[in-house]
């Protein structure tokens, strides 16, 4: 690949060529042979099994709950309801005083006769076997005093309110200039309203916990993206000091944001284990995950674009109305990206929420950009057509020189290069700009593209690294690997830094006894944990060099350290070198240990002085069956500018995973909330469609060569969620190009294009 | 899931008798549908009679020149059988369009015919459903009914039968052989096998309690080209929005005979007999296909979310007929 950042700012120590290499996952063999133990697979002596019974109504109170038959059922140890559950704090207000408290607040379960949402836990049965617990749960009789609830976003727009902030602490509204006047005066306008549905994360591994007490110490084996959140949340709920809670989560079968906080499986397992004084294991069922493990909220998004006839934007407005929970607010930052994507003198964004009687929405892969760009990047496509401009040319004409919202320079921004390189590789010039006019047999063919943007975050993290007398390195941090490749890239970072082969480095993750990190979320894991480990390795090297120069036992005693390097398992100081293992054996028979940290991005000077985002361009080709309206992908391409790539294989896997999410969002993902009953109707994987292999076409991913020295010591930027951003819009724009039908209600299922498809002669 | 007892049947007669002896007993074979329903306590049998190992797993030639498919032939084996592939290609296409490879490896021929609807309200015990709980009402009628029936439904139930295999078998005029607890056998034309919901949607077939499917007999393949076309929301592993099984026999520029069955539209595979009658002797033309499709859907009724199925079924049928003729 061509392009971009020069290499002169690269840290001199990273020359071993290990970072970036597409090495296989370190944990791959364990996973494919069943050797990776997931939460529910942990076995402890005397473990009892829990099964949760959920509420049959969406709002009301439990008038009567008869557990007698369940308690008499074979092998049942405990039936817990609000009547006998250990005391927990009240849930508290809908909005926490500060953003971080969202993650650490108490999340009590079975502590009230109130039912706040459909399938909320109303009882827990614990038995000697899972089967006995589930069977007994079926014997519990509950009578509810049902109350009318609100389950319909579009029917309750009058109840919309402005939250104090969005997720991640962004401003609810933004205003630059005077959008309304600019829009009124604009010669070319788009005013389009899009709807995006409820969606669910559906990681393969369900939310599951094995909780065990030893004295007053609680150990929780679970599936968690962020251990510190779980630890704090469990401690708050059980009213015990966090130090007494240990979270263990070495392997995670996907999270997508639904495992950032403790859910009912964790809280109830901890409570039941306390009551029974034996380990208790609980998993949510797939159906229970729909109500009890978060979702992306349904939204109505209005995008207004005003442009001069040459295509330059004079005004951008993005207004979002989203469903939220009546008892806990969650405002996805859906319009935030629109503040900094394109240049326009007049900008306005707003977020509004409509409370429904449903569970809380949660962070779902690419929160904000995923639904927001689905709408916004389609509106840009609509504007390009109105202007008679190529969609890429429109975006190029609105490329900002600096961050349009903050007025600061970009750390790196290669959006235009991404689009141009993508156009070249994809054969974009073959796109027929007249929609509905390209046919192959009985298929209508379309090309679409969209831009991608995703903020680069960095969270506070610490890592500890140790080297033993045999030159073996162990890195420990409470980071998690949710399938992204954390084990692998962290191994590469340590091996690179210390000049050792991959096989000499062992990375241990997923234990809250290890130094605290920001975990996996917001695409910040690699940058945060990776930078901390990088710094820890630097600290370790300093200790080694110091001892190497000063220790009497050192073969390098007295050497000049300013020219030191670690490479090929050797330490070199000036002209003198020694085997690292041999050196350590001589100077530190007990080995060395060091820690390194990074601060949260928002508090660093570099973050304030530069606008930091990853960028990309998505391209899609689709075919629509003109007889049935079936929409099938033909190929996709993503060109990404996301800083330094730590592992070309795991990075690519992240992006193609995101592109697959884009296909899902554009074509099929939707959870239907029944406005009569308040339940998610299609709450299993037969009815909630995600793309399967047959839906995923050939995908090409290209990374521009970038090194963002403003972002962090590694030069890497957040990448995991970038693949989602804009991918769905590229698909939707391709559908328009193929059919001439602009569907603004996602997902674009065949029934929405069918009425407009021509009946072609046979 | 409630506790149940289990026995493995030694013979077809004994299996039928074992189920007949207890009102709360059921047959189990691949379990790909029944076990899911038991976990959710939608089905609560107290006793299961396992018929999966009965020697009903062969596909045999019949004297008439057709095939007799044992009830325990797995879906994957039936789809892969060279005789089925060459003489009943529509059946192979339908089988391979259904479920996933893993499920097809477990699912039996008889179990496929007897699988229950995937209506999400049927699958949620907290929701009204006349099929699951007589007299509780039909939540789908005014609810999320995108997948539901447009033909043969009633106020009591608008669920569809989810099978692809059964649709192809309907077009092939299959007959379902059963054995009763007393040892008596009968052969039921597939068109008479499933019942429409009317006021009793919980009664889904004409089988008596303990009556067991022993085999499905396929008559000799009818002349003409066979095509199975399934339209769904994703490329695989999705139930049909609509499907069309068509066999069209041409003579010169005219159609000699046609058979058409539809899936995803009713509580049973739906034979479009009026359309078949219209096509017999008609010119093989777009107009004839269009008229046939109109006739086939003449009585269709949408319920809001599934209104689109009516034009979709027409368009799919028109094109499927054309495809069958084109390659005839």
Q: Render pLDDT for A501-541 as a digit per residue (tens, 0 to 9).
A: 999 999 999 999 999 999 999 889 999 999 999 999 999 99
Q: Domain ends where: A569, A599, A629?
A: A599
Q: Domain ends where: A292, A312, A342?
A: A292
**Phi, psi (rounded to 5 degrees) for A63:** -85, -35
Token pair 């990047």 is found at A377
Contact A234, A218 (CB under 8 A): yes
A532 and A575 both lie in a single domain = yes
Active site residue A721: yes
Tokens of A181: 């006047």
- Given the residues A382, A385, A496, A721, the one annotated as active site: A721
Helices then strands, each counted (H, E), chain A: 18, 27
A31 and A43 both lie in a single domain = no
Helix axes A486-498, A525-550, angle to 10 degrees: 30
A450 and A463 both lie in a single domain = no
User: What whole-number distance in Å separates Cα of residue A343 and Cα of residue A617?
Assistant: 17
CB contact under 8 Å between B235 and A134, yes or no, is no
| CA distances from residue A687 to A209, A485, B118 in whole angstroms, order as listed | 26, 30, 9
In chain A, residues with a C-beta closer than 8 Å to the C-beta of B126 are 56-57, 118, 677, 679
Q: At A313, is the secondary structure helix, strand, or coil?
A: strand
Q: What is the pLDDT of residues A699-754, one digit of tens each?
A: 999 999 999 999 999 999 999 999 999 999 999 999 999 999 999 999 999 999 99
Report the candidate in A535, A388, A406, A366 with the shortest Cα–Cα distance to residue A460: A535
Neighbouring C-alpha atoms within 13 Å toward the C-beta of A724: 20
Of B123, B144, B286, the CB nearest to A672: B144
User: What whole-number distance in Å separates Cα of residue A305 and Cα of residue A193?
Assistant: 12
Q: Can you list the alpha helix ranges (DSSP code H) found in A239-357?
A: 264-276, 286-292
User: What whole-number distance in Å separates Cα of residue B39 and Cα of residue A131?
Assistant: 9
A75 and A137 both lie in a single domain = yes
Tokens of A345: 């003198």
Token pair 């990273």 is found at A14
CB contact under 8 Å between B232 and A630, yes or no, is yes
A545 and A625 both lie in a single domain = no
A433 and A469 both lie in a single domain = no
Domain for residue A162, yes or no? Answer: no
Q: Which residues of A254-271 are buried (b: 16+ CB within 10 A; e: fewer)?
A: bbbbbbbbbbbbbbbbbb
Our CA dihedral for A741, A744, A748, A749, rounded to 10 degrees, sits at: -80
Contact B145, B220 (CB under 8 A): no
Contact B275, B259 (CB under 8 A): no
What confidence category does residue A184 fall into, taking pLDDT thresholds of 50, 70 and 90?
Answer: very high
Q: What's the number of domains chain A is made of?
A: 3
CA distance B217 to chain A (A): 31
Q: Can you list the alpha helix ranges (DSSP code H) found in B151-298?
A: 165-171, 190-193, 273-279, 286-296
Q: Using CA coordinates, name the residue in chain B closest to A747.
A: B233
Per-residue pLDDT of chain B (328 residues; tens, 9 = 90+): 999 999 999 999 999 999 999 999 999 999 999 999 999 999 999 999 999 999 999 999 999 999 999 999 999 999 999 999 999 999 999 999 999 999 999 999 999 999 999 999 999 999 999 999 999 999 999 999 999 999 999 999 999 999 999 999 999 999 999 999 999 999 999 999 999 999 999 999 999 999 999 999 999 999 999 999 999 999 999 999 999 999 999 999 999 999 999 999 999 999 999 999 999 999 999 999 999 999 999 999 999 999 999 999 999 999 999 999 986 5
Domain harbouring A121, CATH code:
3.30.365.10
Tokens of A460: 């506070």
CB contact under 8 Å between B143 and A676, yes or no, is yes
CB contact under 8 Å between B233 and A668, yes or no, is yes
User: What whole-number distance in Å separates Cα of residue A111 and Cα of residue A107?
Assistant: 10
Contact A23, A651 (CB under 8 A): no
Report the candidate in A477, A489, A599, A530 with the shortest Cα–Cα distance to residue A227: A477
The reported pTM is: 0.97
Tokens of A187: 């010669």
Domain for residue A727, yes or no? Answer: yes
Token pair 């005219």 is found at B254
Disruptive mutation site among B124, B132, B140, B146 for chain A (greatest number of A CBs within 10 Å): B124
Our CA dihedral for A291, A296, A297, A303, rounded to 10 degrees, sits at: -170
User: What whole-number distance in Å separates Cα of residue A521 and Cα of residue A226?
Assistant: 8
Tokens of A644: 């330094």
Tokens of A217: 């110490």
Of A135, A668, A687, the CB nearest to B2: A135
Our CA dihedral for A174, A177, A183, A186, rounded to 10 degrees, sits at: -140
Disruptive mutation site among B43, B235, B314 for chain A (greatest number of A CBs within 10 Å): B235
DSSP state of A297: P
User: What whole-number distance in Å separates Cα of residue A422 and Cα of residue A640?
Assistant: 9
CA distance A436 to chain B (A): 19
User: What whole-number distance in Å separates Cα of residue A573 and Cα of residue A626?
Assistant: 71
Q: Is the pLDDT of residue A758 over 50?
A: yes
A491 and A629 both lie in a single domain = no
Contact A212, A201 (CB under 8 A): no
Other CB atoms within a 10 A radius of the CB of residue A135 amount to: 23
Domain for residue A281, yes or no? Answer: yes
CA distance A380 to chain B (A): 27
What confidence category does residue A602 fall into, taking pLDDT thresholds of 50, 70 and 90?
Answer: confident
Sign of CA dihedral A238, A239, A244, A250: positive
Average pLDDT over residues A204-230: 98
CB contact under 8 Å between B1 and A667, yes or no, is no
**Phi, psi (rounded to 5 degrees) for A248:** -125, 120
A595 and A701 both lie in a single domain = no
Q: What is the pLDDT of residues A366-404, one digit of tens each?
A: 999 999 999 999 999 999 999 999 999 999 999 999 999
Start-to-end C-alpha separation, chain A? 47
Q: What is the pLDDT of residues A164-180, one digit of tens each?
A: 999 999 999 999 999 99
A435 and A470 both lie in a single domain = no
Q: Is the pLDDT of residue A129 over 60?
A: yes
By CB neighbour count within 10 A (0-12 exposed, 13-18 middle, 19+ buried), where does A47 fall?
middle
User: What whole-number distance in Å separates Cα of residue A519 and Cα of residue A516?
Assistant: 8
Q: Is the pLDDT of residue A10 over 90?
A: no
CB contact under 8 Å between A684 and B237, yes or no, is no
Q: Using CA coordinates, name the residue in chain A closest to B313.
A: A628
Q: Which helix (H) or strand (E) holds A648?
A: helix A648-667
Helices then strands, each counted (H, E), chain B: 12, 12
Report the candidate in A195, A158, A199 with the shortest Cα–Cα distance to residue A354: A158
Query: Does the predicted interface ipTM exceed a cut of 0.85?
Result: yes
Contact residues, B window 152-211, toward A, CB-based 8 Å cutoff: none
CB contact under 8 Å between A131 and B139, yes or no, is no
Q: What is the pLDDT of residues A466-489, one digit of tens each?
A: 999 999 999 999 999 999 999 999
Q: Specify the pLDDT at position A561.
A: 62
A473-476 and A505-508 strand pairing: parallel
Other CB atoms within a 10 A radius of the CB of residue A201 amount to: 21
CB contact under 8 Å between A749 and B233, yes or no, is yes
Q: Specify the pLDDT at position A466.
A: 98
Q: Using CA coordinates, name the residue in chain B closest to A697.
A: B235
Contacts for A222 with CB less than 8 Å, ≥ 6 apart: A39, A207, A208, A209, A210, A230, A247, A248, A249, A262, A265, A266
Q: Using CA coordinates, name the residue in chain A closest to B143.
A: A674
Q: Is the pLDDT of residue A6 over 60?
A: no
A595 and A714 both lie in a single domain = no
Report yes or no: B256 at the A interface, CB cutoff 8 Å.
Answer: no
CA distance B261 to chain A (A): 17
Contact A302, A193 (CB under 8 A): yes
Report the candidate in B101, B39, B111, B102 with the shortest Cα–Cα distance to residue B73: B111
What confidence category does residue A7 fall into, taking pLDDT thresholds of 50, 70 and 90?
Answer: very low
Q: Using CA coordinates, name the residue in chain B closest to A133.
A: B1
Q: At A489, is the secondary structure helix, strand, or coil?
A: helix
In chain B, residues with a C-beta closer than 8 Å to the C-beta of A57 are 126
Disruptive mutation site among B33, B98, B120 for chain A (greatest number of A CBs within 10 Å): B120
Percent of chain A with pLDDT over 90: 95
User: What whole-number distance in Å separates Cα of residue A633 and Cα of residue B185?
Assistant: 50
CA distance A296 to chain B (A): 20
CB contact under 8 Å between A750 and B233, yes or no, is yes
Average pLDDT over residues A416-430: 98
Q: What is the pLDDT of residues A40-84, one digit of tens each?
A: 999 999 999 999 999 999 999 999 999 999 999 999 999 999 999
SS3 content of chain B, % helix, strand, coil (to 5): 30, 25, 50
Q: Using CA coordinates, name the residue in chain A closest to B100.
A: A692
Q: Specify the pLDDT at position A12.
A: 41
Domain for residue A547, yes or no? Answer: yes
CB contact under 8 Å between A689 and B233, yes or no, is yes
The size of chain A, in residues, is 762
A580 and A716 both lie in a single domain = no
Contact B239, B168 (CB under 8 A): no
Disruptive mutation site among B233, B241, B246, B315 for chain A (greatest number of A CBs within 10 Å): B233
CB contact under 8 Å between A689 and B234, yes or no, is yes
Domain that includes residue A531, residue range: 11-35+459-599
Contact A51, A273 (CB under 8 A): no
**Phi, psi (rounded to 5 degrees) for A440:** -125, 105
CB contact under 8 Å between A751 and B312, yes or no, is yes
CA distance B292 to chain A (A): 14
Domain for residue A740, yes or no? Answer: yes
Query: What stretches of A568-708 adopt beta strand conformation (E)?
Result: 570-573, 576-579, 592-598, 613-625, 631-641, 698-703
pLDDT averaged over chain A?
96
Contacts for A99 with CB less than 8 Å, ≥ 6 apart: A165, A168, A169
Q: Specify the pLDDT at position B2.
A: 92
Average pLDDT over residues A283-308: 98
- Which residues sit opposite B3 in a β-bridge? none
- Which residues sit opposite A576 in a β-bridge? A573
CA distance B181 to chain A (A): 31
Domain for residue A382, yes or no? Answer: no
Domain for residue A131, yes or no? Answer: yes
Q: Domain ends where: A236, A262, A292?
A: A292
User: What whole-number distance in Å separates Cα of residue A480 and Cα of residue A477?
Assistant: 9
Q: Is the pLDDT of residue A4 over 70?
A: no
Q: Which helix (H) or strand (E) holds B91?
A: helix B89-97
Domain for residue A636, yes or no? Answer: yes
CB contact under 8 Å between A749 and B1, yes or no, is no
A580 and A621 both lie in a single domain = no
Distance, CA of B296 to chain centre? 18
């Amino acid at each position: 690949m061509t392009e971009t950042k020069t290499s002169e700012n690269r840290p001199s120590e990273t020359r071993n060529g290990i970072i970036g290499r597409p090495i296989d996952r370190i944990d791959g063999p364990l996973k494919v042979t069943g050797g990776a133990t997931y939460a529910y697979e942990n076995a402890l002596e005397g473990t009892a099994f829990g099964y949760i019974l959920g509420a049959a109504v969406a709002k009301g109170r439990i008038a009567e709950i008869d557990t007698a038959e369940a308690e008499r059922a074979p092998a049942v140890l405990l039936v817990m309801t609000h009547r006998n559950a250990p005391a927990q704090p009240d849930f508290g207000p809908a909005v926490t005083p500060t953003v971080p408290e969202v993650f650490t607040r108490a999340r009590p379960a079975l502590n009230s006769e109130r039912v706040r949402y459909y399938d909320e836990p109303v009882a827990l049965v614990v038995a000697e076997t899972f089967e006995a617990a589930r069977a007994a749960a079926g014997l519990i009789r509950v009578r509810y005093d049902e109350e009318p609830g609100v389950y319909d976003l579009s029917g309750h727009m009058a109840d919309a309110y402005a939250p104090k902030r969005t997720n991640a602490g962004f401003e609810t509204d933004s205003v630059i200039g005077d959008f309304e006047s600019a829009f009124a005066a604009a010669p070319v306008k788009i005013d389009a309203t899009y709807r995006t549905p409820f969606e669910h994360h559906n990681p393969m591994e369900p939310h599951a916990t094995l909780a065990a007490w030893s004295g007053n110490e609680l150990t929780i084996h679970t599936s968690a993206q962020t251990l510190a959140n779980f630890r704090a949340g469990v401690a708050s709920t059980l009213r015990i000091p966090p130090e007494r809670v240990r979270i263990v989560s070495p392997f995670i079968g996907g999270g997508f944001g639904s495992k950032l906080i403790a859910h009912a499986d964790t809280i109830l397992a901890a409570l039941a284990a306390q009551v029974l004084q034996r380990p208790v294991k609980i998993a949510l069922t797939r159906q229970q995950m729909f109500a009890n493990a978060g979702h992306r909220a349904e939204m109505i998004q209005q995008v207004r674009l005003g442009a001069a006839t040459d295509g330059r934007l004079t005004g951008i407005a993005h207004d979002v109305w989203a469903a939220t929970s009546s008892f806990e607010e969650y405002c996805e930052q859906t319009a935030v990206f629109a503040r900094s994507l394109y240049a326009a003198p007049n900008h306005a964004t707003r977020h509004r929420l409509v409370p429904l009687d449903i569970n809380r929405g949660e962070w779902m892969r690419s929160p904000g950009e995923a639904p927001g760009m689905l709408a916004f990047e389609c509106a840009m496509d609509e504007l390009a057509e109105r202007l008679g401009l190529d969609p890429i040319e429109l975006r190029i004409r609105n490329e900002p020189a600096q961050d349009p919202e903050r007025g600061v320079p970009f750390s790196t921004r290669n959006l235009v290069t991404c689009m141009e390189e993508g156009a070249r590789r994809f054969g974009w010039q073959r796109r027929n700009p007249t929609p509905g006019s390209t046919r192959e047999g009985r298929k209508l063919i379309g090309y679409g593209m969209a831009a991608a943007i995703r903020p680069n975050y960095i969270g506070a993290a610490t890592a500890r690294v140790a080297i033993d007398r045999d030159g073996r390195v162990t890195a420990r941090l409470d980071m998690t690997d949710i399938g992204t490749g954390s084990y692998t890239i962290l191994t590469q970072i340590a091996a690179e830094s210390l000049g050792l082969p991959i096989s000499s480095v062992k990375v241990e993750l997923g234990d809250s006894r290890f130094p605290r990190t920001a975990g996996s979320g917001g695409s910040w894991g690699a940058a945060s944990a990776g930078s901390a480990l990088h710094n820890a390795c630097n600290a370790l090297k300093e200790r080694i060099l110091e001892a190497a120069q000063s220790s009497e036992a050192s073969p390098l005693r007295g050497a000049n350290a300013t020219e030191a390097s670690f490479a090929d398992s050797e330490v070199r100081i000036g002209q003198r070198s020694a085997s690292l293992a041999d050196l350590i054996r001589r100077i530190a028979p007990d080995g060395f240990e060091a820690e390194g940290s990074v601060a949260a991005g928002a508090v660093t000077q570099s973050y304030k002085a530069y606008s930091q985002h990853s960028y990309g361009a998505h391209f899609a080709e689709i075919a629509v069956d003109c007889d049935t309206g079936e929409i099938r992908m033909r190929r996709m391409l993503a060109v990404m500018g996301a800083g330094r790539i730590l592992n070309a294989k795991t990075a690519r896997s992240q992006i193609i995973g995101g592109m697959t999410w884009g296909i899902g969002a554009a074509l099929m993902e939707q959870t239907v909330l029944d406005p009569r009953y308040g339940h998610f109707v299609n709450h299993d994987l037969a009815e909630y469609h995600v793309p399967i292999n047959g839906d995923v076409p050939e995908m090409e991913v290209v990374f521009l060569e970038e090194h963002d020295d403003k972002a962090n010591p590694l030069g890497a930027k957040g990448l995991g969620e970038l693949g989602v951003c804009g991918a769905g819009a590229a698909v939707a724009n391709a559908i328009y190009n193929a059919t001439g039908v602009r569907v603004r209600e996602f997902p674009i299922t065949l029934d929405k294009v069918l009425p407009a498809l021509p009946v072609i002669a046979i | 899931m409630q506790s149940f007892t289990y026995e493995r049947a030694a013979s077809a007669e004994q299996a039928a008798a074992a189920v007949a002896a207890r009102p709360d007993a059921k047959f189990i074979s691949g379990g790909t549908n029944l076990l899911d329903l038991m976990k959710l306590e939608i089905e609560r049998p107290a006793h299961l009679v396992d018929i999966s190992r009965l020697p009903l797993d062969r596909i045999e030639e019949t004297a008439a020149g057709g095939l007799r498919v044992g009830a325990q032939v797995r879906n994957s084996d039936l789809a892969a059988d060279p005789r089925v592939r060459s003489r009943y290609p529509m059946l192979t296409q339908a089988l391979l369009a259904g479920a996933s490879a893993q499920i097809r490896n477990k699912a039996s021929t008889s179990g496929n015919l007897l699988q229950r609807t995937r209506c999400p309200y049927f699958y949620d015990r907290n929701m009204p459903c006349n099929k699951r709980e007589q007299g509780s009402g039909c939540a789908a009628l005014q609810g999320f009914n995108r997948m539901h029936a447009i033909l043969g439904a009633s106020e009591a139930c608008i669920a569809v039968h989810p099978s692809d295999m059964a649709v192809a078998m309907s077009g092939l005029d299959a007959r379902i052989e059963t054995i009763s607890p007393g040892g008596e056998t009968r052969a039921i034309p597939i068109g008479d096998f499933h019942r429409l919901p009317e006021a009793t949607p919980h009664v889904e077939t004409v089988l008596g309690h303990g009556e067991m499917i022993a085999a499905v007999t396929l008559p000799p393949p009818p002349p003409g080209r066979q095509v199975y076309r399934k339209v769904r929301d994703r490329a695989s592993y999705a139930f049909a929005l609509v499907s069309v099984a068509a066999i069209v026999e041409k003579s010169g520029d005219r159609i000699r005979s046609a058979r058409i069955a539809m899936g995803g539209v009713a509580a049973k595979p739906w034979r479009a007999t009026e359309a078949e009658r219209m096509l017999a002797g008609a010119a093989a033309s777009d107009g004839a296909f269009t008229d046939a499709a109109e006739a086939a859907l003449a009585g269709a009724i949408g319920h809001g979310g599934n209104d689109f199925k009516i034009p979709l079924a027409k368009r799919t049928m028109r094109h499927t007929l054309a495809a069958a003729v084109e390659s005839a």
